[in-house]
Structure 1
Amino acid sequence: MLFSSQRASASRHGVATSETRAPIGYAVAALNKLAQSDLLDKTGLRKQTEHLVYTTTRGGFRTAAAAGRAFAKKKSSAPGVRSATATSSGLFDLTPTEDEQMLVDVVGQLAAEVVRPAASAADDACATPDDVLAAGIELGLPVLGVPEKLGGISDERTAVATTLVAEALAKGDMGIAVATLASGAVATAISLWGDDGQQQTYLPAFAGPTPPVAALALSEPTVLFDALSPSTVATRADSGYTLSGTKSAVVRGDECELFVVGALLDGRPALFLVPSDPTTIQVEADPSMGVRAAGMAKVTFDAASAELLGDTDAAAYTEAVRLSRIGWCALAVGTAQAVLDYVTVYVKEREAFGEPIAHRQSVAFMVADIAIELQAMRLLTWRAASRAAAGEEFAREAALARRACAEKGMKIGLDGVQLLGGHGFVKEHPVERWYRDLRAVGVMEGGVLV
């Protein structure tokens, strides 16, 4: 098992124990929702999932001329609410709680049985299959960061749980993981920074059986792009704001019904909610070197109507960038783990000169280096997510995780290809795809958010 299943005697720093959560915990709620789906029968996961539910409750790429899909608002009368920060015992303990471990186990099975087999075809098609996306919806991933009172499954910040889920999904495929988590990133952003009216207007749709396709759009097609200095500009208008500019690497951009866009307002970056409108939003395919299954697109806003999300002093925007970077770090950790698992088996089975190549010191040391750097990436990422969940300052931790995952993640991908020799260069083995995906971690902004 990747994580220890033993419950820590004290709550992890920044993550609450199940006693402080909703009565059955968000993992159990997600599992019960999944148990009602036909997906389990199709993938052979029903027995394992029903066992988890029982043991837990027993104790208590297309080109589009425009963004044509309209966001269907479902107004709620429930007042808006902010997720409480996770409680902390003051001890530094990154052991996942029981609820988190169960959720990770189910997502990990989904990644192995559903995501991994679909990855190659999704990479070629630059799109994630609908049935794979439906699997994430049925598991409740779009509302993982939404408060329970607004249709979600937790009343506390879920930065750690989302980080663990992103890592588990990325072991199957990073591109599919990004496509699966994109709408949830927008729902989480609205939960964190939306006012009462925005939460009542937009969040109920994400809690429904067919949540909207949504994307967090921060990246721009600019050389040496600085996420904290976007070129997209917001202008005050009689009815609110209008946005003008171009965003790149927008996940499933040709299908999006709602965007959260970063733009400059009076010289400071801010976040804006932008519903799809074919008269002011143009979309075109923007396939990339890696993360192709996410269906990246370039989106141009031409005086598009927008609502301010959060504040105007750049605090919400800066936090969004940092939380997004933690999300990409989690994706890097999961993909790097897939590389390590694959090459470990390969070097033991591949023979040269009458013996497995794992017997060569240079090969063994390279595999060991991958394991060492991977563990450092994981701990830095978990530490940053833990502090974010606890409502503590995490700028330094996010920066450290980002630097380590961008640099070491890319090297792990390169070493994986090198260990396979000629096999690492062909599509018969998935390592070349993981290498391309890992190169994205240092340049991607937005798309996911924990």
Structure 2
Amino acid sequence: MGVPDVTQSYTRTWRAPPFRTTTPRGVPVATHRDPMGIGLAVLNRIASSSTVDRLRLRKTAERAVYEGARSGFRVAGATSRAFRRVQASGAPTRPARTPDSGVFDLEPTEDQQMIVGVVREFAAEVLRPGAPAAEDVNDTPKEVLAQTSEFGLTLLNVPESLGGLSEDRSAVTGVLVAEALAEGDMGQAVACLAPAAVATAISLWGSDAQQQTYLPALTGDDIPAAALAVAEPRPLFDPFELQTTAVRTASGYVLNGVKSGVVRGSEAELFVVAADIEGQGPRLLVVESGTEGVAIEADPSMGLRAAGLSRLVLTDVELPADAILGQGTEDDYRECIRLSRLAWAGLALGTGKAVLDYVKDYVKTRSAFGEPIAHRQAVAFMVANIAIELEGMRLVTLKAASRAEQGLDFSREVALARRLAGEYGMKIGTDGVQLLGGHGFVKEHPVERWYRDLRAVGLMEGAVLV
């Protein structure tokens, strides 16, 4: 399928089969027990979209975080919508573990094939052609964000009873979706997945009151910008040695510190922030952007520019005692870091696949000394190595995601995925630029952007979650 001219509108009709049940929000879906449940639910959201027939990117996207990046700026956090606080009425609802079938099978389920097929087509037709413009303005167009919201990205790890799509964990689906989006553009993929990271965190570890307070907005029609803020702007950052601190007070906590790599920070209405709780170690806290003491600074980056990365400055931010996410255990925090690294591995897979597909065609059509450079053994071996490295990354990433779904220990597997994605992802980007020679250094070809984006995989913490 060819890539359309994004300055022209075009029409595409999505057709979804009938459904048998509805979610608590009244959106028709199949039950999680239906083998086509999640996929059909996503297609239903797309079919009911009033804008899906017009996937047009605006010519001039709004600037968000980087408007004042050249001179530097600090602004107060975005005015948060009035999240209606709900008192706990019982135990929180958690996604169920996926049962172990006992069969080693890497073939995606019908659900996953349907979801990934839609997302991959969207990435090819919208994210890929719109990537240069999004990077130029350091922001993802609002039209693109609205479209991915209609795909139900924030619903994947939210139980049906809370307005989501499935009662079961879906880490593998999350990895496949991240891979498909990043095949179009990693920066925009991160921007689209950021609210889903917050929804997933609240679903997996939040208290009943937190779920009832925040998930209705994150699973509704007007999804707020939200960010999972873990990283800090210092060398050799360790997510388990945080300088952002939360000090206990008579009424709750006082939060101080600086977070970096915060996705769409100037627009975010809700943050899940990693901080060191005195005497307890690192934990996650829920912070609404309108809280006094929350400010946003510019944070220009080498890659991921379309994600609108910024710094979150926290100065004597007073939080209630129930701001700690859920039970606030060390195990929850460790799992958050692992699942975040797993999501970054998925993003590396998608961008690496984009590099491979591009250089395969390039070396076959680029001629030197009277023949395509693909005929040169050194060139052919370099392309083959990219494919081999991608395959290894993909196998260990999916294994880690599968174990996470089943509630098994996946610490070893995610450590391997992180290492391979960080090391080989960077190498794939470098080799892509090398294979294009002088063309790899100019913006006429997208490989230089993919190179810069892949450099982030081994450095970033938080931001995305599966």
- Check whether TM > 0.5: yes
Q: State whether structure 2 residue 46 is matched by structure 1 residue 66.
A: no
Corresponding residue for residue 139 of structure 1: 151
Q: State whether structure 2 residue 324 is matched by structure 1 residue 308.
A: yes
**Which of 308, 332, 336 is 2:348 aligned to?**
332
Q: State whether structure 2 residue 439 is matched by structure 1 residue 427.
A: no
Q: C-alpha distance in 2, partners of 1:39/1:171? A: 23
Structure 1's 210 and 19: CA in aligned 2 closer, same or farther, altered over 3 A? Answer: closer
Corresponding residue for residue 239 of structure 1: 251
Q: C-alpha distance in 1, partners of 2:455/2:318? A: 34
Deviations 1:134-153 (A, max 9, x none): 11101111222111110111
Aligned residue for 1:318, secondary structure, equals helix
**Which of 126, 130, 145 is 1:118 aligned to?**
130
Corresponding residue for residue 207 of structure 2: 195
**Which of 83, 90, 93 is 2:105 aligned to?**
93
CA contact (8 A) 1:348 1:357 kept: yes
Deviation at 1:398, TM superposition (A): 0.4
1:369-384 alignment to 2 at 5 Å?
369-384=385-400
CA contact (8 A) 1:268 1:313 kept: no
Q: C-alpha distance in 1, partners of 2:379/2:418? A: 27
Corresponding residue for residue 296 of structure 1: 309
Q: C-alpha distance in 1, partners of 2:55/2:160? A: 29
Deviation at 1:66, TM superposition (A): 1.0
Corresponding residue for residue 56 of structure 1: none
Equivalent AA in structure 2 for residue 304 of structure 1: V
CA contact (8 A) 1:268 1:312 kept: no
Equivalent AA in structure 2 for residue 441 of structure 1: V
**Which of 353, 366, 370 is 1:354 aligned to?**
370
Q: State whether structure 2 residue 421 is matched by structure 1 residue 405.
A: yes
Deviation at 1:303, TM superposition (A): 2.1
Corresponding residue for residue 414 of structure 1: 430
Q: State whether structure 2 residue 284 is matched by structure 1 residue 271.
A: yes
Deviations 1:415-450 (A, max 9, x none): 000000110000000000000000000100000000
Q: C-alpha distance in 2, partners of 1:41/1:339? A: 29
State how many pairs are aligned. Answer: 418
Deviation at 1:30, TM superposition (A): 1.0
CA contact (8 A) 2:32 2:167 kept: no
Structure 1's 300 and 145: CA in aligned 2 closer, same or farther, altered over 3 A? Answer: same
Q: Percent identity?
A: 58
1:122-271 alignment to 2 at 5 Å?
122-265=134-277, 266-271=279-284
CA contact (8 A) 2:49 2:150 kept: yes
Deviations 1:119-145 (A, max 9, x none): 111112111001111111011112221
Corresponding residue for residue 440 of structure 1: 456
Q: C-alpha distance in 2, partners of 1:259/1:243? A: 13
CA contact (8 A) 2:31 2:166 kept: no
CA contact (8 A) 1:213 1:256 kept: yes
Deviations 1:72-99 (A, max 9, x none): 3246798631100111112222221100
Deviation at 1:27, TM superposition (A): 1.5
Deviation at 1:382, TM superposition (A): 0.7
Equivalent AA in structure 2 for residue 272 of structure 1: L
Equivalent AA in structure 1 for residue 307 of structure 2: A
Deviation at 1:107, TM superposition (A): 0.1
**When you count helix as a share of all residues, which structure comes out higher?**
1
Aligned residue for 1:40, secondary structure, equals coil
Following TM superposition, where does structure 1 have runs of at least 4 consecutive aligned residues deviating by more than 4 angstroms? 74-79
CA contact (8 A) 1:229 1:269 kept: yes
Q: C-alpha distance in 2, partners of 1:209/1:268? A: 36
Deviations 1:394-416 (A, max 9, x none): 00000000000100000000000
Q: C-alpha distance in 2, partners of 1:195/1:310? A: 4
Deviation at 1:358, TM superposition (A): 0.5
CA contact (8 A) 2:86 2:210 kept: no
Equivalent AA in structure 1 for residue 126 of structure 2: V
Greater mean deviation of Cα atoms: 263-272 or 363-372: 263-272
Greater mean deviation of Cα atoms: 30-39 or 347-356: 30-39
Q: CA RMSD in A?
A: 1.8
Equivalent AA in structure 2 for residue 436 of structure 1: R
Aligned residue for 1:300, secondary structure, equals strand
Corresponding residue for residue 7 of structure 1: none
**Which of 9, 18, 31 is 2:43 aligned to?**
31
CA contact (8 A) 2:32 2:165 kept: no
Equivalent AA in structure 1 for residue 223 of structure 2: P
Corresponding residue for residue 9 of structure 2: none
Aligned residue for 1:253, secondary structure, equals coil
Q: C-alpha distance in 2, partners of 1:19/1:370? A: 40
CA contact (8 A) 2:182 2:350 kept: yes
Deviation at 1:354, TM superposition (A): 1.2
Equivalent AA in structure 2 for residue 377 of structure 1: M
Q: C-alpha distance in 2, partners of 1:241/1:123? A: 38
Deviations 1:243-280 (A, max 9, x none): 11110010001111110011111241111001112631
Greater mean deviation of Cα atoms: 178-187 or 221-230: 221-230
CA contact (8 A) 1:66 1:278 kept: no
Structure 1's 205 and 430: CA in aligned 2 closer, same or farther, altered over 3 A? Answer: same
Aligned residue for 2:254, secondary structure, equals strand
Structure 1's 278 and 190: CA in aligned 2 closer, same or farther, altered over 3 A? Answer: closer
Q: C-alpha distance in 2, partners of 1:218/1:349? A: 44
